């Protein structure tokens, strides 16, 4: 075995990720399949919403002037000349001294400029007694009140939410152009591994990384490509790394400098190994490079190191290629540190912490194989490269695990 002669700074590694994570080309999908997808283009409306004047209350469509002066002590009388239901005929007319019964959402009749609410009037056959006055346009929805023709309703690179799909439907969009989801080939290596969720035999380790990474890839908008654990055989690892369907390759395990660490050598042979060894803890054996302009990320096999390297590098690339923000999708909370966290200048640390009553309690910085430390933790604190750590009483920013 040999050690790392040089460890790349986090800053340099992140710059490499950003330079090699171009947004993928768009595709057209049905609106019903667009929830959570990233919009590729600006969407403008070709129609007014609503496209007609409509009643906003159940009641009676009138000319407002016919209600002026009406009170419960001095009701005014109007003649009821019809009724309009939602989706009904909007060509009826209301003349002076007349009213038409109307329901919420129904088109306003011609000449009517207000709706008197049902509770402000009393009907006796074809006569209406009005007990209150209404000004012009009261309880009337205007054409284009929600969206006007030509309005930009959604901007590019917006992650579509359920209400956005409702807006798209309201302007008649059955399809939408979205950024294609990056297809991520997940390669889990290790002869010592047995399938996730199985009971380990002697000297075996259950695969914890594939369930974790699969969920993270899907969270970040990637389309997962994963079949099974890949044995530590160079030809099999090579085959998986060369998957022509992948936009990004994520390899877990075999990323360091040991005898069975094949991934770095293979990447340098069939592509370019741009970075190998990063000045961080955990995850220092992480690496990255390209095969045919597709980013490849080499993550350590130890689960916490794997999670950390994914969070810093692979997840960022997946989000960028899918048109999302590079930023971590974690909420943040500030709290006071109850114990010191030590670090070394020149190395960035990823410290798991809990939060108790607004105070931040460190759990671990090391322990790359102790995955349960992340489960016990509420989140993590980043100790920057230029720091020797934080003393007790320091206000620190915690990134909260989702």
Residue 260 has pLDDT above 70, yes or no: no
Phi (first) and psi of residue 308, to 5 degrees: -60, -50
Token pair 């920013």 is found at 397
The CA distance from 365 to 345, in Å, is 15
Q: What is the per-residue pLDDT for 4?
A: 64
Residue 28 has pLDDT above 90, yes or no: yes
Query: In angstroms, what CA-CA distances link 353 with 137, 338, 360, 366?
Result: 58, 11, 6, 12
- Indicate whether 225 and 316 sit together in one domain: yes
Residue 118 has pLDDT above 80, yes or no: yes
Burial class (CB in 10 A: 0-12, 13-18, 19+), 235: exposed
- Indicate whether 255 and 307 sit together in one domain: yes
Residue 368 has pLDDT above 90, yes or no: no
- Indicate whether 260 and 189 sit together in one domain: yes
Characterize the bridge pairing of strands 280-281 and 248-252: unpaired
Among candidate residues 287, 321, 355, the one where a domain is terminated: 321
What's the whole-number mean pLDDT along residues 149-169? Answer: 97
Q: What is the per-residue pLDDT for 196?
A: 87
Residue 364: name the closest of 353, 355, 379, 372 by CA: 353
Among candidate residues 258, 290, 321, the one where a domain is terminated: 321
- Indicate whether 62 and 85 sit together in one domain: yes
The CA distance from 156 to 146, in Å, is 21
Q: Which residues contact 365 (CB under 8 A, 6 or more apart)?
A: 281, 282, 341, 342, 343, 349, 350, 351, 352, 383
- Indicate whether 128 and 91 sit together in one domain: yes
- Indicate whether 106 and 154 sit together in one domain: no
- Indicate whether 293 and 374 sit together in one domain: no
Residue 232: name the closest of 266, 203, 206, 197 by CA: 266
Q: What is the per-residue pLDDT for 62?
A: 98
Q: Which of 3-7, 36-40, 250-254, 261-265 has the lowest mean pLDDT?
A: 3-7
Average pLDDT over all residues of the chain: 94
Phi (first) and psi of residue 396, to 5 degrees: -120, 155
> For residue 374, what pLDDT band results from cuts at 50, 70 and 90?
confident
Q: What is the per-residue pLDDT for 1?
A: 38
Characterize the bridge pairing of strands 140-141 and 183-188: unpaired
Residue 90 has pLDDT above 90, yes or no: no
Residue 313: name the closest of 7, 6, 10, 9 by CA: 10
Residue 326 located in a structural domain: no
Helix axes 263-270, 234-241, angle to 10 degrees: 50
Helix, strand or coil, per DSSP, at residue 280 = strand
Q: Which residues contact 142 (CB under 8 A, 6 or more apart)?
A: 53
Find out whether 212 and 303 touch, Cβ atoms under 8 Å: yes
Among candidate residues 86, 119, 141, the one where a domain is terminated: 141
What pLDDT digit, counting tens, does each position of 45-62 carry? 999 999 999 999 999 999
Residue 259 has pLDDT above 90, yes or no: no
Taking the chain, what is the end-to-end CA distance rounded to the nearest angstrom? 38
- Indicate whether 84 and 218 sit together in one domain: no
pTM: 0.88
What pLDDT digit, counting tens, does each position of 172-218 carry? 999 999 999 999 999 999 888 888 889 888 888 889 999 999 999 99
- Indicate whether 313 and 335 sit together in one domain: no
The CA distance from 14 to 285, in Å, is 15
Q: Which of 114-118, 159-163, 342-346 has the lowest mean pLDDT?
A: 342-346
State what percent of residues in the chain have pLDDT above 70: 97
- Indicate whether 87 and 129 sit together in one domain: yes
Gyration radius of the chain over CA positions = 32
What pLDDT digit, counting tens, does each position of 209-256 carry? 999 999 999 999 999 999 999 999 999 999 999 999 999 999 998 877
Residue 381 located in a structural domain: yes
Residue 385 has pLDDT above 60, yes or no: yes
Domains of the chain: total: 4
Residue 196: name the closest of 312, 299, 303, 307 by CA: 303
Q: 287-300 in b/e burial notation, b at 16+ Cβ within 10 A?
A: bbbbbeebbbbbbb
Token pair 């130890």 is found at 302
Output the domain CATH number for residue 280.
Answer: 3.40.980.10
Helix, strand or coil, per DSSP, at residue 225 = strand
- Domain, as residue range, for 302: 10-25+181-321
- Indicate whether 187 and 88 sit together in one domain: no
Residue 111 located in a structural domain: yes
Instruction: Quickly list DSSP for 167-202.
Output: HHHHTT-SEEEEEPPPEEEEEEB-TTEE-TTSPP-T
Q: What is the per-residue pLDDT for 352?
A: 93
State what percent of residues in the chain have pLDDT above 90: 85
Q: What is the per-residue pLDDT for 226?
A: 96
Residue 3 has pLDDT above 70, yes or no: no
Dihedral sign, Cα of residue 127, residue 130, residue 134, residue 140: negative
Residue 191 located in a structural domain: yes
- Indicate whether 60 and 45 sit together in one domain: no
């Amino acid at each position: 075995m040999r050690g790392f002669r040089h460890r790349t700074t986090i800053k340099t590694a992140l710059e490499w990720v950003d330079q090699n994570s171009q947004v993928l080309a768009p595709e057209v999908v049905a609106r019903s399949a667009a929830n959570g997808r990233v919009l590729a283009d600006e969407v403008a409306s070709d129609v007014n919403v609503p496209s007609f004047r409509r009643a906003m209350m159940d009641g009676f469509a009138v000319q407002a002037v016919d209600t002026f002066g009406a009170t419960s002590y001095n009701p005014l009388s109007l003649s009821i000349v019809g009724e309009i239901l939602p989706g009904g005929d909007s060509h009826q007319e209301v003349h002076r001294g007349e009213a038409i019964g109307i329901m919420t959402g129904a088109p306003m009749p011609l000449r009517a400029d207000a709706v008197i609410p049902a509770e402000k009037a009393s009907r006796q056959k074809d006569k209406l007694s009005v007990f209150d006055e209404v000004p012009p346009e009261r309880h009337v929805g205007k054409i284009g009140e929600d969206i006007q023709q030509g309005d930009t309703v959604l901007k590019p690179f917006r992650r579509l939410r359920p209400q956005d799909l409702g807006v798209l439907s309201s302007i008649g969009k059955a399809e939408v152009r979205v950024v294609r989801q990056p297809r991520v080939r997940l390669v889990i290596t290790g002869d010592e591994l047995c399938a996730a969720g199985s009971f380990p035999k002697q000297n075996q380790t259950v695969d914890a990384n594939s369930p974790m990474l699969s969920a993270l890839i899907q969270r970040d908008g990637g389309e997962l490509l994963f079949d099974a654990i890949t044995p530590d055989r160079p030809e099999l690892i090579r085959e998986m790394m060369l998957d022509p369907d992948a936009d990004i390759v994520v390899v877990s395990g075999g990323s360091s400098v040991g005898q069975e660490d094949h991934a770095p050598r293979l990447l340098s042979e069939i592509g370019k190994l741009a970075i190998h060894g990063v000045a961080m803890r955990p995850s220092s054996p992480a690496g990255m490079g390209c095969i045919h302009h597709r980013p490849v990320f080499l993550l350590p096999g130890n689960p916490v190191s794997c999670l950390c390297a994914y969070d810093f590098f692979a997840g960022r690339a997946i989000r960028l290629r899918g048109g999302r923000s590079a930023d971590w999708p974690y909420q943040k909370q500030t709290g006071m540190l109850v114990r010191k966290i030590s670090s070394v200048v020149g190395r960035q640390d990823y410290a798991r912490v809990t939060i108790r009553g607004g105070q931040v309690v460190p759990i671990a910085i090391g322990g790359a194989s102790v995955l349960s430390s992340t489960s016990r933790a509420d989140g993590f604190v980043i100790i920057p490269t230029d720091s020797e750590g934080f003393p007790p009483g320091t206000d620190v920013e915690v990134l909260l695990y989702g």
